[in-house]
Amino acid sequence: MPKVRTIDLINKFDLELISGEEGVNRPITTSDISRPALEMAGYFEYYPAERVQLLGKTELSFMERLSDKDRKERLEKLCTDLTPCIIVTRDMEVPPELIEAAERESVPLIKSARKTTRLSSHLTNYLESKLAPTTAVHGVLVDIYGVGVLITGKSGVGKSETALELVKRGHRLVADDCVEIRQEDQDTLVGTSPELIEHLLEIRGLGIINVMTLFGAGAVRTHKRISLIIDLEIWDQKKQYDRLGLEEEKMKIIDTDVTRLTVPVRPGRNLAVIIEVAAMNFRLKRMGVNAAEQFSNRLADVIEDGDHEDR
């Protein structure tokens, strides 16, 4: 199923359909917008027909200078079976030749009162959001001191219970159980909750609870950028866990590497506090303060001073 169709743009931006109604369900496959200036001049060698075509004051005023034959021919070439739609901005008058060509080829011809540049910006932002690569991860996403923390781990390890404790401590829940993730930029992952389970937490023994109803609107968020992953696992006596924090592990989601910490779970460990501190420490590292490196440097200095004294 296509993520975006022409009809979605018409409804989202309150656009007026002039002709080509049969093509309103055409899929839009790219967020790139085309302003066919060279095409108006007659150069169709690299015409990006699969893009939304935007005709503004520049294109339409140039079109008026063309002979009737050239104008008709070039406007007909704009309308292909790949073109999702042609949008005329600034509420300008639509050339009758374009109306006829769009109707004949079933290309939705749309009119907007917005300025060309402003509409182009809005369209690009909307399409990039809708067409971004997506995936779903089993886990809990919480906003802790402005850091989006994705808590992962095997079923029953205590992810939801930890999230509940974090919410009680004043942090905000984004999603529980299933986190839908989209890559909005080359290194930006944004997590949201599926609509069906938004604001809900599943606590074994209690069942489903509504976090917004219990703790208020300030306890939830609709979306959050994912900056840190904390993987909870049952404590393994044979496994060697990082005790200094010098090594930084990464986890790849879609095309983005995200910092991941592995936190062992055992009775008596307050996971909510540990994750809270991990988020604060992550913020400090981004600000250039790395406690593990500072300790390592001090330790190296002490060892070096000891060597000098022995000599």
Rg (CA), the chain: 28
| Of 136, 120, 232, 131, residue with least CA distance to 177 | 136
Distance CA 295, CA 280 (A): 18
Distance CA 240, CA 232 (A): 15
Helix, strand, coil tally for the chain in percent (to 5): 35, 30, 35
Query: How many Cβ atoms sit within 10 Å of the Cβ of residue 259?
Result: 16
Whole-model pTM: value is 0.74
Q: Which sequence spans correspond to the domains of the chain?
A: 6-131, 134-295
Each residue's pLDDT tens digit, 264-299 = 888 878 899 999 999 998 888 888 877 767 777 787
Residues at the binding site for Mg(2+) are: 160, 202
Q: What residues are labeled active site?
A: 138, 159, 177, 243
pLDDT of 244 > 70? The answer is no
Choose from 69-78, 184-193, 277-286 the range with maximum mean pLDDT.
Answer: 69-78
Distance CA 78, CA 298 (A): 68
Distance CA 228, CA 249 (A): 11
Alpha helix stretches (DSSP H) within 79-115: 96-105
Query: How many Cβ atoms sit within 10 Å of the Cβ of residue 141?
Result: 29
Mean of pLDDT over the chain: 90
CATH architecture of structural domain 134-295: 3-Layer(aba) Sandwich (3.40)
Distance CA 180, CA 136 (A): 4
Residues at the binding site for ATP are: 153-160
Residues at the binding site are: 153-160, 202
Query: Domain 6-131 class?
Result: alpha beta
